[in-house]
Amino acid sequence: MGKMVLQRFCYFASAALALVLFAIAPAIRAGEQTTTFKIPPVKIPVNVKDQQVTLVASALITLKTKAQGMNVLNLQLTGDLSDLQQNMTELLSAALDKDDHCGDRIVIQQATLAPAEPGSLAVVQLHYERWGCAKVFGKQQAKRLVGGNAVMQMTLTPAIGEDGTELRLVPEVGPIQADGSLGELLRSGTVGEMLREKIRDAILSALQKGTDMKATLPPAVQDYAKIKDARFRNGGSGRLLVILDGEIQITNDQIQALAKQVKERVAAQTGK
**Helix/strand/coil for 212:** coil
Q: What angle do CA 248, 35, 30 make, to 5 degrees?
A: 165
- Residues in CB range of 271: below 8 A, 6 or more apart: none
- What gap in Å lies between CA 52 and CA 249, rounded to an integer? 35
Task: Read off the pLDDT of residues 116-159 as tens digits, 9 standing for 90 and up.
Answer: 999 999 999 999 999 999 988 878 889 999 999 999 999 999 99
| Residue 80 pLDDT level (bands cut at 50, 70, 90) | very high
| pLDDT the model gives residue 29 | 39
Question: Do 160 and 170 touch, CB atoms closer than 8 A?
Answer: no
Question: Do 245 and 225 touch, CB atoms closer than 8 A?
Answer: no
Model pTM score = 0.82
Nearest to 212 by CA among 18, 24, 79: 79
